[in-house]
Chain A
């Protein structure tokens, strides 16, 4: 079983790494990272902050782009190119395909993240700002976990809708996942019990993606404590497991 998953993951990784859209997105992000030097030059003594902020955000945008857009196309491409029909008759379970696909795309996300992070480090090195290595690594690690959740959300949606709609739904989840803070006043000071219950339900059921955002803290050299990181890691793993389960059920029932 592990061999099958690994083979699918490997193929997905190879296939997505050859994707021209991905390579173009990576090139754009590398240009943005280089451009941070210019932004830094007009920021009045805030150069390192600007490089770290814009650099990590550019990497984050790349991860989200891979998760949402390439993730939504993942299953669709297989069906469109008829390669899915070659796999289906073989003794491979559908959940193995989903897991392999998700892991493959996560590996792609990880690779492009690594490349762009190295570029960011090179830019920071020109400013002599080596203190940010560990905080940045931790930040991109946490945002990779967020990307993993979004990959699975886009796979879940691609099970029953078109790639465009799947991407739109995933974007909605992404935005809602970062709007948890906006729901807090509705929970704390409810106008009615119904509103409170609904707000509380949305707050707890939707993925809390702000948990993986430490970009605001790392510019001050702050790193969240180990408990918080472990909690975020476990949250990501359990949420990913839930999405994987939902995706498996969806694809199991789907007729090709």
Chain B
């Protein structure tokens, strides 16, 4: 009896799976532009993470645009930005669901190639956001020009310290592309444009507030003449600010340039502890990614690189409409 029931459940499930697979196949292979009719198109978004507020803002932008376009999305990512393997499993699971499109932010540009190629072979359109995969399959990427953003941070740092003296960097990653490019953009700009500025130290705190604070304190101890520190993400930058507070210093003693927003960083800028920060447009990244995926589903070719922009903000322009729109608490 029990076995018979089990068998029947299994059989029903098998039929359902086959039927669903058939539907999905029909959906992606059949006529593209049917967003309004029948089932909503489904876009699986695989992010680098979800815990960081930056990703929450990307998710928000994606959800808002999905609502407007009448598409369904899921947004997932690994618990930390070091879990390349966990992210690949999510990507595999997403491909297995045969979505109408996949939106992907690569934690590792190489490791993802086989899976992204497999998605291509299954004729699932792939769009990317934030960081790309070294494969020919993806149609587009919506991201910040991190090298340019790092260079902008360097320009403002140079201006604020009078174009001479020692500066240091508290980075958040020496591996992933945003960490590397925000650093390199800053370093290259300093070397090219400001010969009297010396970058005396670069260390990495994984974006951990506590670790970044301890690193900044060690830097300040080791380099008494240090004029500025650049923190390459929210955790790094807030860590540097915490170090200043703990040492009883303020923005007059040391110039701090941060990255991204978040309440602590915005407060530090308001209070004069931090000179300013670079902000990306995470909501825009989310929205443009969903838009690109939607276009791809409908047979249009999205732009290959969608630069969603970056800005420098400080206490002066923080309240400006253009800036306030891309900041998030």
A and B pair up: no
Interface residues of A (CB under 8 A from B): none
